[in-house]
Amino acid sequence: MSTFVNRRTVLGAGLAATALLFMTGIARAGVPLTTLPGAPFVEVETANGRVRGGTASGALSFKGIPYGGSLSGANRFMRPTPVVPWSGVFDATNLGPPSLQRPGGTYGDHEPPYSEDCLVLNVWTPATDGGKRPVMVYLHGGGFVSGSVGSPTQDGGRLAAAHNVIVVACNHRLGLLGYLFLGEFGEQYAANAGMLDIVQSLRWVKDNIAAFGGDPGNVTVFGESGGGGKVGTLLAMPEAQGLFHKAGIESGAWTRRVTRDRATETARRLLKALDISDAAKLADVPAQALLDLQWQGERGAAPMADPDTTGGRMM
C-alpha cells in the first residue's frame, strides 16, 4: 500500500483551490489539430475516430467524446468496454448525457437527458500547437450518486487557458448502477463499476491526450467532495496504477467505502424487492425502476473495499 501511494504526489490545498476557482490523439507526432477554414471549429484524430470541437472560455473545447461502450442491457453492472471506432467526424460541440440519477439533483436539469450510456468526457485545450502540456483530470462531486461534468461550473476552459494545461472531465456510472455489488452471483459482475469507468477514462487519456496537445506522462487527477473521494479511491486501485502521476483531494476522503458484507446485503435486498432470484434478470429491469428503489432504501453509494474482490478492487 505505501509503495503504491508513494508513487503519487498529493498536491497541496493551494493548487487545488486555484483549480476550482478557474473551473466557474493519437500519441504520436504528425497528427496535428486542424482549424477548419471559415469556421470556429477544430478537428482532432483520436484512436477511435475524428472529433470536431469548438471554443469555450478562451480555450478549444471538445464535449461528449465517448470513452467507453454501451452500458445498458447485458452490459449493465459489467466492466466498461472499449469504444467502437466510428467513421466520419464525431460532433464534439455538444454535451453528452449525465449518468442516470434523481432529477433536480446537484446540477439541475439543464443538461441532456440522463442515460445509462453515460461514458463520455470533455476536453479543453488552450492551443493547437501539439505541445506537451500538463493534463488535469477533474472528477465531479455528488457523493457517488449525483453530479456530472456538464454544468457551467464544471467548464474547464478557463483553467486550461489561464494555466496552459489540458483539462479533462468525465461522466461515469453513479448510485446503484455504479456501485451495486453482485459478486456472490457471479465473477462476471464488476465491483465498483463507477470507479472502473473512471479508470477507463484515464486509459483514454493515456492513448489520446497527446493529440490534443497534452502530455500522457504528466497527468493529475483532482476532485472536490465526492470527487475527492473518488481520487482517494483511485490511489488505492491497482488498475489505476501508472495512469496518473499526481493527485489533489478537495473536501473529500477516500475512506468513504462499504464492506463486502454490507454491499452483498444491499444487493440481496434489491433482488428481493424486485422479486428476482437470478441476478442476470436485472438486465431486463427498467433503469428508472432501479433508481426509484435506490431512493426508497439506502440513498447513498460508495465503493466496496475488499482485497479479495477482482475487478475494481482496492488495496
Q: Does residue 27 have a pLDDT over 90?
A: no
- pLDDT at 253 (0 to 100): 65
The DSSP 8-state label assigned to residue 260 in this structure reads H
Highest mean pLDDT among 103-112, 129-138, 139-148: 129-138
User: If you average pLDDT over every residue of the chain, what do you get?
Assistant: 82
* Of 24-33, 70-79, 176-185, 286-295, minimum mean pLDDT range: 24-33
Four-residue CA torsion sign, 31, 222, 54, 149: positive
**Strand pairing report for 120-125 and 133-139:** unpaired
Q: Which residue ranges make up each domain of the chain?
A: 2-296
Q: Return all residues near 291 (Cβ < 8 A) that are at least 6 apart.
A: 100, 101, 102, 175, 176
Residue type, 9: T
Look at residue 217 in the predicted model and tell me its pLDDT: 98
User: Which distant-in-sequence residues (6+ apart) come within 8 Å of 81 by Cβ?
Assistant: 68, 69, 70, 75
Question: How confident is the model over 146-188, as pLDDT tens digits?
Answer: 889 988 888 999 999 999 999 999 999 999 999 999 998 998 9
What global pTM score does this model have? 0.84
- Average pLDDT value for residue range 263-283: 91
Q: Is the pLDDT of residue 283 over 60?
A: yes
Supply the DSSP symbol for 124.
Answer: E
Mean pLDDT of 61-86: 94
Superfamily (CATH) of domain 2-296: Alpha/Beta hydrolase fold, catalytic domain (3.40.50.1820)
Distance CA 100, CA 89 (A): 27
The secondary structure element, H or E, covering residue 5 is helix 2-6
Structure-block grid coordinates of residue 207: 492513448
Distance CA 80, CA 67 (A): 9
**How far apart (Å, rounded) are the C-alpha atoms in residues 277 and 175?**
21
